[in-house]
Amino acid sequence: MKVAVPKEIKNHEYRVALTPTGARELTGRGHQVSVQAGAGEGAGFTDADFQAAGAQIEADVDTLWRNAELILKVKEPQPDEVARLNPQHTLFTYLHLAAEEPLTRGLMESGATCIAYETITDARGGLPLLAPMSTVAGRMAVQAGAHSLEKAQGGAGVLLPGVPGVAPGKVTVIGGGVVGENAARMALGLGAEVTILDKSLARLEVLDDRYQGRIKTVYSTADALETAARESDMIIGAVLVPGAAAPKLITRRMLADMQPGSVLVDVAIDQGGCFETSKPTTHAAPTYIVDGVVHYCVANMPGAVARTSTQGLTNATLPFVLALADKGWQQALRDDPHFLPGLNVHAGQVTYLAVAEAFGLES
Ligand code: NAD
């Protein structure tokens, strides 16, 4: 199979869809891998690293796309990339089509077979190609929040672990899923006092069992949220209601009850945010202050740690990439019922129900 790895062109996207380690797995099985010149630079992989793994470096982007059968990307195709797609292509990438009608229609018109990372499932009902980025974002949330608590950033000047004789900072995580658990683990590791709020008792049971009282678990109610606002130095928003915008759990009015200089980290900002005063920010200007409370609301947190994110992502995608390259998309999807829901668009049709419903395309 001829596999192509373009350089990502979305603004501030530094990840690449394949590491040299992944390229070596493909070339070792006899596949031809072409990597666009400089594609790995943002993640710290040089062209020479890819060449050493048996890949060819292609400087001409037109040639790269024209010769490809399987195209591996990170972000949804940008308009220039959609224009390059044709029916011989299988595209494997994050697509997030349900909120993107023009992109969906562009992919339909291209005739390409488009498989999305985010709709592939696993045997435990999880989303295995979303989980690595949620893990990154959860772990980064505490790092970003701890920095924001520093005085120079507008924070209260609180050191999360405290020092001997001084109590540690209090961190509340709202939503105890993949992001939330990873954030809580980081905060615990730093020595903070950690509480997780969740609406799912089953999830709280798992967390309680796993952390044996080292993390407090509290059922998420209006009372619990008000207490969290009053008492926390940092609140991390990590809720997800599948298929819906995030609920606004900390309201503007509640900011008045928070300590001046306390910090809100809204990881759920990519779903609209779970704090009323959240608005998306960038890595260049990640925080702003409302009513004395520092807000960190970066929508693509994993982009800041592109090397780790690239490695984590390709570890998760590689088995699927190998199946696509070895068997072709039809057989690969037929053989794996968890891979099948990844198919979003094929031969001009939307093949994923939620996306079709979003745009009235179901038939
Ligand atoms: P998840 O499904 O693993 O966990 C979400 C948790 O939220 C679940 O345990 C659920 O029970 C809980 N929840 C739902 N409603 C709640 C409520 N009202 N109160 C308390 N808990 C509630 O999801 P995840 O993978 O952890 O993702 C969490 C969020 O982080 C999502 O919005 C995701 O899009 C976002 N995310 C953002 C970035 C970024 O860069 N900003 C990166 C990755 C993920």
Atom of ligand 1 nearest to the CA of 180: 26
Q: What's the mean pLDDT in 252-278?
A: 96
pLDDT at 231: 98
> In this structure, what is the dihedral angle of CA atoms 184, 140, 271, 206, given to the nearest 10 degrees?
-20
Per mean pLDDT, which range of 56-60, 88-92, 184-188, 279-283 is the poorest?
279-283
CB neighbours of 296 closer than 8 A, spacing ≥ 6?
Answer: 141, 144, 145, 148, 263, 264, 265, 266, 281, 286, 287
Interatomic CA distance for residues 154 and 174, integer angstroms: 23
Q: What is the pLDDT of residues 44-99, one digit of tens each?
A: 999 999 999 999 999 999 999 999 999 999 999 999 999 999 999 999 999 989 87
The per-residue pLDDT of the chain, averaged, comes to 96
Rg (CA), the chain: 22
pLDDT at 116: 97
Q: Taking 80 as the threshold, does the pLDDT of residue 244 lie above it?
A: no
Report the percent of the chain where pLDDT is more than 70: 100
Cross-strand bridge partners of residue 71: 4, 91
Q: Do domains 2-120+306-358 and 131-299 have the same CATH topology?
A: yes
User: Which residue is listed with tokens 């967390």?
Assistant: 207
Q: In what order do the strands lie in the sheet with 56-58?
A: 56-58, 32-36, 2-5, 70-72, 90-93, 113-116, 343-346, 349-350
pLDDT at 67: 97
ipTM: 0.99
Q: Which residues are catalytic?
A: 96, 270
Q: 191 falls in which pLDDT band (50, 70, 90)?
A: very high
Q: What is the pLDDT of residues 50-63, one digit of tens each?
A: 999 999 999 999 99
Interatomic CA distance for residues 94 and 300, integer angstroms: 13
Class of domain 2-120+306-358: alpha beta
Residue 348 near residue 354 (C-beta atoms within 8 A): no
pLDDT at 245: 82
Q: Taking 90 as the threshold, does the pLDDT of residue 12 lie above it?
A: no
Six token digits for residue 74: 């990170």
Interatomic CA distance for residues 46 and 26, integer angstroms: 18
Residue 344 near residue 352 (C-beta atoms within 8 A): yes
Q: What is the pLDDT of residues 123-175, one digit of tens each?
A: 998 999 999 999 999 999 999 999 999 999 999 999 999 999 999 999 999 99
Interatomic CA distance for residues 84 and 86, integer angstroms: 7
Six token digits for residue 93: 């990438």
Among 240, 248, 270, 278, the mutation site with the greatest number of ligand 1 atoms within 8 A of its Cβ is 240
Long-range CB contacts for residues 158-162, cutoff 8 Å, separation at least 24: 158/233, 158/261, 160/187, 160/190, 160/191, 160/192, 160/233, 160/234, 161/190, 161/191, 161/192, 162/191
Class of domain 131-299: alpha beta
**DSSP strand E in 147-250: where?**
170-174, 193-198, 216-219, 234-237
Residue 163, exposed/middle/buried by CB under 10 A (0-12, 13-18, 19+)?
Answer: exposed
pLDDT at 98: 85
Interatomic CA distance for residues 236 and 148, integer angstroms: 12
pLDDT at 99: 77
Q: 358 falls in which pLDDT band (50, 70, 90)?
A: confident
Q: What is the pLDDT of residues 104-125, one digit of tens each?
A: 999 999 999 999 999 999 999 8
For the chain, the domains span 2-120+306-358, 131-299
Q: What is the pLDDT of residues 289-341, one digit of tens each?
A: 999 999 999 999 999 999 999 999 999 999 999 999 999 999 999 999 999 99
Atom of ligand 1 nearest to the CA of 301: 40
Q: Taking 90 as the threshold, does the pLDDT of residue 9 lie above it?
A: yes
Atom of ligand 1 nearest to the CA of 176: 9
Among 12, 129, 179, the mutation site with the greatest number of ligand 1 atoms within 8 A of its Cβ is 179
pLDDT at 241: 85
Report the percent of the chain where pLDDT is more than 90: 91
Identify the helix (H) or strand (E) that includes residue 108.
helix 101-110
Among 66, 133, 171, residue whose Cα is nearest residue 299: 133
Q: Taking 90 as the threshold, does the pLDDT of residue 361 lie above it?
A: no
Q: Ligand 1 pocket: which residues have CB below 6 Å?
A: 133-134, 137, 174-180, 197-200, 203, 220, 238-241, 246-247, 249, 267-271, 299-302
User: Which residue is listed with tokens 């929508």?
Assistant: 299
